[in-house]
Structure 1
């Protein structure tokens, strides 16, 4: 459902004064308030740092006893986190923004102090469509995305609209949990999907689909998933939050190194994590992969791991939420971005684990040859001819 953003922010200020919010765990971490934690995740490679931190000992290294809980879908992740069954979660990067604004759920102040991965998604079509490469011929197709509030939904809509198709009129887009996507493609329930890996590679492995376009070819360096926790968790358990975020940053620093990817693939492929053949996960993480059409591609940055939560990422996400009618009214893009994407905390901990954070929190970038300036979000939004906003 769409929400009026001014109304949402007024109510949110009642719960938690946004202007007074500070990204601050204790400057000198003290005793961990809660050692045993539950973190929900969806079995996809986007969650690599969160997942691998369990079998590879990163949580234990930072004094935590973490249970990583494989979960069926994003709505379940959201609801279990809001109900406090999970202390924190692997979420799609738009989800903490949507939850904070009360879009699609109850309104709760949420945070994303780390991006889990950049790139790492693809548009995959059923093998029967191997001769329909031109998106202009896709009118009437049925597509799947993981969730309404996802980069997959926004990037697929963007891609279709740039090729002259209205995503709400010319095709159907439905939400399907990633573990169910390949089965739906095989059963001919959908024609394709914009999905996280290893879903795309598994479709190739099973011979039911081919990789049409990598998401990095739409926007190189785009965010996908995030480590997310409620503002209440951040404020009431600062030392636990510090240890948890540092463990994930530590794992991310390890995952960034290409020479570690084979070891990571072996660690996260088993049934209690991704439940995939190691070769499928390896192809994703290494960037050397079969495309489903008889070719082998080498794209080393098919997926990468950069934890910095750029405020400009959050601003772009909100332009697309507004573009497709998920939020309405005036949006204080920069304010919401600052309060949800905790760049200050990320900067500090990136330095502690040997990563180099950027000197600023915003930047311009290009999505399908169109420049996005985070300082001019409304002008960017107005430039699109296909949209649901007036």
Structure 2
């Protein structure tokens, strides 16, 4: 029942009343230590790559940022609680979760950049060959407020399937929240028919022979963001030079991860010096730099249907496009979300997309060292492509 407790805990944290004591504790910490060192909180998934690469490659020090070793958390609930209370001052969160945090709990926090693009997939049992095979079955998601839930519900509805939370019948698919670390074992035990989650758990299921990729999320929503980097408003407002140094380091780290994929896998793996994650280097390498023969197989079996998009299994690009945030909020309003979500009724996509992000710092970072070109950016605007 850990999952149920975590969801209830997060549901409480993302209300203004329950979040208030944590935010007060955060204010007290900020007053007592105005120049606190950078303290990163993260989950052991590839969404955290820029945060960990920046630490592992000494990029924070190069940008004159004092830091401690990043702190690993095992659940979104514990990570968010630590952030709201000020125990950590930089985290990565699921992009829809940032909407809930800002407008549900009224937390004075902002997202500053994207951590990565794509990097998620719908993984199913080997006997599942098409979306309609999932009717009457259960699919695990990492959280209701996740890009994974948004994408998979669009995929299921397109196939004429209804979303339920319990007892799925023909024509229905049950969605259940499950920690990513439990998903591969649950799939192997046939407790679920599949899961949609961040890497490297999809690659791990493939490596263990218990699952296969049915669709990549980035093949449905082109170059979508998954996790964002968030900070407290008090840091943004009172020490902008410090924030700029942190973002400079993270943008440089994202560029490193994009162009040095094998070394990034080695740095993040359990075999690495810092042991940032419990994942084997071979599994991480299969995500960051899959073999061409494997990629061609995905194209043949339909896991990739838009080969002309020429995407990576996971990629890195830090600028948060406003068009993405607008579409995300519009899709959230169409998505089944357990718990109290009435706050979404008053969230206007065009306004919220500007309120959620402070893009000043990442824009400045991208102007340095020809980084726009390194990320393949010719403009800071784009048109979203969502195609099943």
TM-score range, shorter chain: 0.7 to 0.9
Q: Secondary structure at the match of 2:371?
A: coil
Question: Contact conserved, 1:265 with 1:282, CA < 8 A, in 2?
Answer: yes
RMSD of aligned C-alpha atoms? 2.9
**Using the alignment, how far apart are the partners of 2:117 and 2:80 within structure 1?**
21
Q: Does 1:368 align with 2:387?
A: yes
Q: Following TM superposition, by how much is the alpha carbon of 1:124 offset from its aligned partner in structure 2, in angstroms?
A: 0.3
Identify the residue that residue 158 of structure 1 maps to in structure 2: 154
**Using the alignment, how far apart are the partners of 1:180 and 1:289 within structure 2?**
29
Identify the residue that residue 339 of structure 1 maps to in structure 2: 355
- Larger strand percent: 1
Q: Would you identify which runs of 4 or more consecutive aligned residues in structure 1 move more than 4 Å?
A: 289-292, 294-300, 357-362
Indicate how the Cα distance of structure 1 residues 342 and 290 shifts in structure 2: closer, same or farther if over 3 A, else same: farther
**Using the alignment, how far apart are the partners of 1:267 and 1:47 within structure 2?**
12
Question: Contact conserved, 2:134 with 2:193, CA < 8 A, in 1?
Answer: no
Structure 1 residue corresponding to 2:96, chosen from 86, 94, 97: 94
Question: Contact conserved, 2:254 with 2:318, CA < 8 A, in 1?
Answer: yes
Unmatched segments (≥5 aa) in structure 2? 1-7, 17-22, 24-32, 305-309
Identify the residue that residue 256 of structure 2 maps to in structure 1: 254
Moved more, 321-330 or 283-292: 283-292
Q: Secondary structure at the match of 2:163?
A: coil
- TM-score w.r.t. length of structure 1: 0.79
Q: Deviations over 1:344-382 (max 9, x none)?
A: 32211111243218676543222125xxxxxxxxxxxxx
Q: Does 1:108 align with 2:107?
A: yes
Q: Following TM superposition, by how much is the alpha carbon of 1:291 offset from its aligned partner in structure 2, in angstroms?
A: 6.4
- TM-score w.r.t. length of structure 2: 0.79
Identify the residue that residue 385 of structure 1 maps to in structure 2: none
**Using the alignment, how far apart are the partners of 1:120 and 1:290 within structure 2?**
19
**Using the alignment, how far apart are the partners of 2:276 and 2:154 within structure 1?**
31
Identify the residue that residue 371 of structure 2 maps to in structure 1: 355
Structure 1 residue corresponding to 2:290, chosen from 287, 290, 293: 287
**Using the alignment, how far apart are the partners of 2:45 and 2:237 within structure 1?**
29
Identify the residue that residue 382 of structure 1 maps to in structure 2: none
Question: Contact conserved, 2:130 with 2:214, CA < 8 A, in 1?
Answer: no
**Using the alignment, how far apart are the partners of 2:293 and 2:87 within structure 1?**
39
Q: Secondary structure at the match of 1:36?
A: coil
Q: Secondary structure at the match of 1:124?
A: strand
Q: Following TM superposition, by how much is the alpha carbon of 1:274 offset from its aligned partner in structure 2, in angstroms?
A: 2.0
Identify the residue that residue 195 of structure 1 maps to in structure 2: 197
**Using the alignment, how far apart are the partners of 1:61 and 1:101 within structure 2?**
35
Q: Secondary structure at the match of 2:246?
A: helix
Q: Does 1:311 align with 2:322?
A: yes
Question: Contact conserved, 1:253 with 1:354, CA < 8 A, in 2?
Answer: no
Unmatched segments (≥5 aa) in structure 1? 9-14, 16-31, 370-390
Indicate how the Cα distance of structure 1 residues 353 and 231 shifts in structure 2: closer, same or farther if over 3 A, else same: farther
Q: Deviations over 1:164-188 (max 9, x none)?
A: 1122371111222222221222232
Q: Following TM superposition, by how much is the alpha carbon of 1:35 offset from its aligned partner in structure 2, in angstroms?
A: 5.4
Q: Following TM superposition, by how much is the alpha carbon of 1:242 offset from its aligned partner in structure 2, in angstroms?
A: 1.5
Question: Contact conserved, 1:97 with 1:110, CA < 8 A, in 2?
Answer: no
Question: Contact conserved, 2:140 with 2:176, CA < 8 A, in 1?
Answer: yes
Q: Secondary structure at the match of 2:55?
A: coil
Q: Following TM superposition, by how much is the alpha carbon of 1:71 offset from its aligned partner in structure 2, in angstroms?
A: 0.9
Question: Contact conserved, 1:289 with 1:296, CA < 8 A, in 2?
Answer: no
Question: Contact conserved, 1:145 with 1:195, CA < 8 A, in 2?
Answer: yes
Q: Following TM superposition, by how much is the alpha carbon of 1:36 offset from its aligned partner in structure 2, in angstroms?
A: 2.1
Identify the residue that residue 145 of structure 2 maps to in structure 1: 149
Moved more, 181-190 or 305-314: 181-190
Question: Contact conserved, 1:35 with 1:240, CA < 8 A, in 2?
Answer: no
Q: Secondary structure at the match of 1:90?
A: strand
Question: Contact conserved, 1:143 with 1:193, CA < 8 A, in 2?
Answer: yes
Q: Following TM superposition, by how much is the alpha carbon of 1:98 offset from its aligned partner in structure 2, in angstroms?
A: 1.3
**Using the alignment, how far apart are the partners of 2:255 and 2:344 within structure 1?**
38
Residues 12-161 of structure 1 mapped to structure 2, 5 A cutoff: 34=35, 36-63=37-64, 64-102=66-104, 106-127=105-126, 129=127, 132-161=128-157
Question: Contact conserved, 2:117 with 2:224, CA < 8 A, in 1?
Answer: yes
